[in-house]
Each structure stands twice: as structure tokens, then as C-alpha cells.
């Protein structure tokens, strides 16, 4: 006859407590997979562009955010006096986009418009016009208490017929604090700015830019471009009150495991 023994309830309780301790350690242990300082909440943007070489067809484009978390809004227009890259042409573009790297959240804004006559000897130079407009608002949730943002503007103004402007603001909506405020800054080499906040704070990035112009027949090359890039990277760890310290959680887990072992021995 075969007998089946019933597991000791004390041993089962010890195993349960040990499992709970290990689970706590696994739950709160730091993970390198989520190192991004910002989490996207919404993107509200409208991009538009037009382009025309005199005597050719006007082209225009408009794009808006398809969903609150659409990360790419893009409008591009192009017109030429005839097929081929060497012909007179006008171009314009407006872009608002964001993407993540392994450790950074990157936000980019661009608007440009330009006109070029034909580069062929004796080629046409009928003149033309172009324009681009961009209005965009990003809202992110803060996932780190200390953040470094590297910002810069690759700016180009060829003078002549085209002109434009731009404004860029970063603010903490939760604490009503201004972080960065730029108005027509021109070229900016990569510059690092550090700011702090609380986990869960809402960070808003607002941008508005425009460019337009018209070149008369036989006019010179003309163009204008604003291209901003913001790279956000975490510079600190989460607030002590929001996530338990890993060392404290580890001690708690080990304490539960030790308690389970002692209970098992005493009920042996």
C-alpha cells in the first residue's frame, strides 16, 4: 500500500512568505529598461506648406496629429519649372516629431521655405513663392526628478525675399514653472539646461513657427530655415517618496526569507 503524506502547513507558510519576499525584490528592483525621463501624454500639432514656381502649379500640404500620441506631423510642398532636379524650384516644409533612443526623449521642430533658379546655364529663373507654418504642443509626464535637456537651433537665413520667426517654450504645468523660453533666437549651438520636478509632473513643450516669401523673375536664391532639437535625458533617480529605495526593499525581502526559514526549522 502506498501512502501520500500531507505537506507541513508551516513549511507551506514559509514558502509563501519567501515567495512574497522574492516577488517584492523583483517588483521594486531597479530596471535599466525604463531609463527615459519623459512619457508621452499628447501631441497637438498642425503643419502646413505651399510652394509655387511662377508659371507652374501651386502645391500645398497640411498634416495634423491623427491621435493624441501621434509622434510625427509633416507637411511638404514642392514646385518646379520643369521635371528634373536642375530646374528652377520652390520648396517648403513643416515638421513636429518625437522619438526615443535607449536613454533619451528627442523632440524636433522644423520649418523652412526656399527658392532656387535653374542651375543649368541659361536655364529658367521665373521666380516663385513658398511658405510653411507649424503650431505644436507636446505634453509629457515626468519620469525622473532631475533632467538634462540639450537644445539647439540649426538656423539659416539666406536673406532676400524670405523671412520667418519662431517661439519655443518648455514649462512645468504642474508647478507652473517656466523652464525655457526662446523667441527668434537664431543659431544656437548645443546647450545643456538642467531642471527638476516631481515624478508625474506634466511638462509642456509649445512651438510656433512660420516662414514665407516671394522671389521675382530673375531674382536671387532665397531661403529661411529653423530647425530645433531637444534631447531630454535623466540626470537623477526617482524621488525617495515615490518609489521605495532598492536597498530597503532588498532588506525587506531577505528579512521575509529569513523569517520563513526560522518558522520552517521551529516547526520542523
Domain-embedded: residue 102: yes
pLDDT tens by residue, 199-223: 999 999 999 999 999 999 999 899 9
Are residues 161 and 72 part of one domain? Answer: yes
For residues 188 and 251, membership in a common domain is answered with no
Mean pLDDT confidence for 16-40: 55
182: in domain: yes
**Helix or strand or coil: residue 83?**
coil
* Co-location of 206 and 116 in the same domain: yes
Confidence of residue 268 (pLDDT cuts 50, 70, 90): low
Tell which wins on pLDDT, 250 or 88: 88
Domain assignment present for 4 = no
The domain tally of the chain equals 2
Residue 106: inside a domain, yes or no?
Answer: yes
CA 148 to chain centre: 13
Is 174 found in the same domain as 109?
Answer: yes
Prediction pTM value: 0.76
Q: Which residue shows C-alpha cell 510625427?
A: 72
Asked if 20 and 150 sit in the same domain, the reply is: no
Beta strands 59-64; 38-53: pairing state:
antiparallel
Residues 119 and 199 in one domain: yes
- Residue 250, pLDDT above cutoff 60: no
Answer yes or no: is 3 within a domain: no
Same domain assignment for residues 27 and 42 = no
Please indicate, yes or no, whether residues 59 and 95 belong to a single structural domain of this protein: yes
Whether residue 189 is contained in a domain is answered as yes
Q: What is the pLDDT of residues 43-63, one digit of tens each?
A: 999 999 999 999 999 999 999
The pLDDT value given to residue 239 = 38
pLDDT band at 159 (very low <50, low <70, confident <90, very high): confident
72 within a domain of the structure (yes/no): yes
- Mean of the per-residue pLDDT values for the chain? 83
pLDDT > 70 in the chain, percent: 75
Range of the domain at 111: 38-234
Q: Say yes or no to pLDDT of 35 above 90.
A: no
What pLDDT was estimated at residue 151? 98
CA separation for the pair 108, 134 (Å, rounded) = 12
Whether residues 63 and 81 fall in one domain: yes
- Predicted local distance difference test score (pLDDT) of residue 122: 86
Report CA-CA distances (Å) from 174 to 38, 108, 185, 198, 255: 14, 23, 27, 9, 39
Both 42 and 27 in a single domain?
no
Residue 204 lies in a domain: yes
User: Does 227 share its domain with 247?
Assistant: no
Distance between terminal CA atoms of the chain? 26
Amino acid at each position: 500500500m502506498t501512502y501520500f503524506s500531507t505537506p507541513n502547513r508551516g513549511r507551506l507558510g514559509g514558502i509563501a512568505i519567501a515567495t512574497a519576499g522574492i516577488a517584492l525584490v523583483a517588483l521594486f528592483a531597479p530596471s535599466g529598461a525604463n531609463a527615459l525621463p519623459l512619457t508621452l501624454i499628447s501631441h497637438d500639432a498642425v503643419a502646413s506648406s505651399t510652394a509655387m514656381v511662377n508659371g507652374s502649379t501651386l502645391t500645398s500640404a497640411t498634416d495634423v496629429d491623427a491621435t493624441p500620441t501621434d509622434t510625427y506631423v509633416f507637411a511638404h510642398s514642392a514646385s518646379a519649372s520643369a521635371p528634373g532636379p536642375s530646374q528652377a524650384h520652390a520648396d517648403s516644409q513643416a515638421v513636429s516629431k518625437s522619438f526615443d533612443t535607449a536613454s533619451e526623449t528627442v523632440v524636433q521642430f522644423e520649418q523652412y521655405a526656399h527658392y532656387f533658379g535653374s542651375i543649368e546655364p541659361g536655364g529658367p529663373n521665373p521666380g516663385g513663392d513658398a511658405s510653411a507654418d507649424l503650431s505644436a504642443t507636446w505634453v509629457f509626464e515626468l519620469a525622473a526628478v532631475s533632467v538634462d535637456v540639450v537644445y539647439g537651433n540649426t538656423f539659416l537665413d539666406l536673406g532676400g525675399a524670405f523671412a520667418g520667426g519662431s517661439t519655443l517654450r518648455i514649462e512645468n504645468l504642474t508647478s507652473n514653472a517656466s523652464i525655457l523660453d526662446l523667441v527668434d533666437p537664431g543659431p544656437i549651438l548645443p546647450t545643456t539646461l538642467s531642471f527638476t520636478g516631481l515624478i508625474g509632473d506634466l511638462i509642456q513643450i509649445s512651438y510656433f513657427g512660420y516662414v514665407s516669401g516671394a522671389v521675382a523673375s530673375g531674382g536671387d536664391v532665397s531661403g529661411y530655415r529653423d530647425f530645433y532639437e531637444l534631447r531630454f535625458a535623466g540626470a537623477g533617480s526617482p524621488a525617495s517618496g515615490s518609489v521605495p529605495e532598492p536597498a530597503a526593499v532588498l532588506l525587506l525581502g531577505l528579512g521575509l526569507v529569513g523569517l520563513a526559514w526560522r518558522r520552517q526549522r521551529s516547526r520542523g
